[in-house]
Structure 1
Amino acid sequence: MKWKILFFILLGINGFIIVLLLFYMFQPSPSPNIPNIKGEGPVFTVQTSKQHMNTLIRDYIQKHEKKGELSYDVQLADRLYIISAIPIFGKQVDLTMAFDPTVDENGHIVLAHPTMTFGQLRLPVPYVLSYIDQHASLPNWVKVDAKKERIYIVVSDIRIKKGYMLKAKTFDLSKDDMTFTVTITK
């Protein structure tokens, strides 16, 4: 008779454990502590060099160059150079513009402190920038401010692919450090 009592006690303990396991098994698990980040989407940082940027710029210019327009080249060296040649009286005369690029708080590249030469002749910067703004077919992400003697490259308006947005983080030619953020927008 003693074994019957022990058997029912053991059966009761096993039943209690099974009920307890089933109770905890069907309870919702606690949610992990993941912060709810509100933003535009994931952000990636891309760092490049002057050599790679020169290749990228050259490819862009070749792809978007229109027949019959003035051809030009952009080179990153100690400064940002825009180089072209204009035919005058059957001869090509070099036109060179040099800028110091920086990044503003909005992630735009600002081309400032320009010098412009036509052959060996230095040109008045506000006049040339005003002429470029009125007569050059610039992409919509290039804004010319002749009064402040600056050109703004609105990097966020450059669409590399739908759903991706660029911003400049650093643009230091002396350190060969150009860093951009790529945001995947929703």
Structure 2
Amino acid sequence: MFQKIKQFGKHSIQTIVYGNKWKIAFFALIAIVLGSSIFLFSRITEKRELVYHEVPPLVDRAGSPVLNINSNKEQINALIGFYLDEYQKNADITFDFALENEALLTGEFKILGFPVTFYLYFDPYVMDNGNVQLKAKSLSIGTLGVPISEVMKMIQRNATLPDWIEIEPKEETVMIRLDQFRMQNGLFLKAEKINLVEDDIQVSLYLPEKNEE
């Protein structure tokens, strides 16, 4: 009987020990997941010295349209890809942008040494002044619940972009300021129509008035 009690006691102790091991492993896993999430959030929201550029005033250009350009997503994507490759040639962090049925911005950052890719989707809108506003609508970043505004802050901190592209994390928008885009001989562009579903993109080229600088 004592032998049975001894064996039973030994079995109970082993059960308790193994049970505690599983509990320890379970809570350790939770701690790792929570720690990683906190680390990721702190890295994304980390305050760095930002260089704020004064938003230039809207340029109300006077002129006459001399050429209406009808394009499509394939042609615009080729142009965007060429431009970004040249502009980001020496950049530490690069981003890709393409037009599908939505406008898509992709990039990656590292968490615990592993690359994490994000996909940020926008709806494009042509403004009355001929500029283009991209309004963020959804974000795909795996299973991580990161707000769109925080990802846009990260992009604003790290992206190498021309002055005529403005990122507004609070409003979750990107403004393509064609009124600030300079061309030779004073020629300027205005967006007329962007319909990605029907693959219809229209831009007008304007000849400035003689008295415009």
- Fold-level match, TM-score > 0.5? yes
Distance change (3 Å), C-alpha of 1:65 and 1:56: same
Q: Match for residue 178 of structure 1?
A: 201
The one-letter amino acid of 2:189's match is L
Larger mean CA deviation between 143-152 and 39-48 belongs to 39-48
Larger mean CA deviation between 106-115 and 54-63 belongs to 106-115
TM-score by length of 2: 0.62
Equivalent of 1:104 in 120, 127, 150: 127
Identical pairs, percent: 28
SS at match of 1:138: coil
Q: Match for residue 88 of structure 2?
A: 65
Equivalent of 2:165 in 139, 142, 149: 142
Q: Match for residue 78 of structure 1?
A: 101
Deviation at 1:104, TM superposition (A): 1.0
Q: Can you give the 5+ residue segments of structure 2 that lack an aligned partner in the other structure?
A: 1-61
Normalized per residue, the structure richer in strand is 1
Q: Match for residue 70 of structure 2?
A: 47
Alpha-carbon distance between aligned partners in 1 of 2:181 and 2:144, rounded to the nearest angstrom: 34
Q: Can you give the 5+ residue segments of structure 1 that lack an aligned partner in the other structure?
A: 1-38
Q: How many residues align?
A: 148
TM-score by length of 1: 0.71
Larger mean CA deviation between 143-152 and 44-53 belongs to 143-152
SS at match of 2:70: strand
Q: Match for residue 19 of structure 1?
A: none
Deviation at 1:122, TM superposition (A): 4.0
Deviation at 1:179, TM superposition (A): 0.5
Alpha-carbon distance between aligned partners in 2 of 1:80 and 1:119, rounded to the nearest angstrom: 19
Normalized per residue, the structure richer in helix is 2
Distance change (3 Å), C-alpha of 1:88 and 1:128: closer
Larger mean CA deviation between 154-163 and 108-117 belongs to 154-163
Alpha-carbon distance between aligned partners in 2 of 1:122 and 1:78, rounded to the nearest angstrom: 24
Deviation at 1:81, TM superposition (A): 0.4
Q: CA RMSD in A?
A: 2.0
Q: Match for residue 156 of structure 2?
A: 133
Q: Does 1:152 align with 2:175?
A: yes
Alpha-carbon distance between aligned partners in 2 of 1:92 and 1:134, rounded to the nearest angstrom: 18
Distance change (3 Å), C-alpha of 1:62 and 1:80: same
Structure (1 or 2) with the larger CA radius of gyration: 1
Distance change (3 Å), C-alpha of 1:107 and 1:63: same
Residues 107-158 of structure 1, C-alpha deviations (whole Å, 9 max, x = no match): 1111114322333424212222233334433211111222222111112222
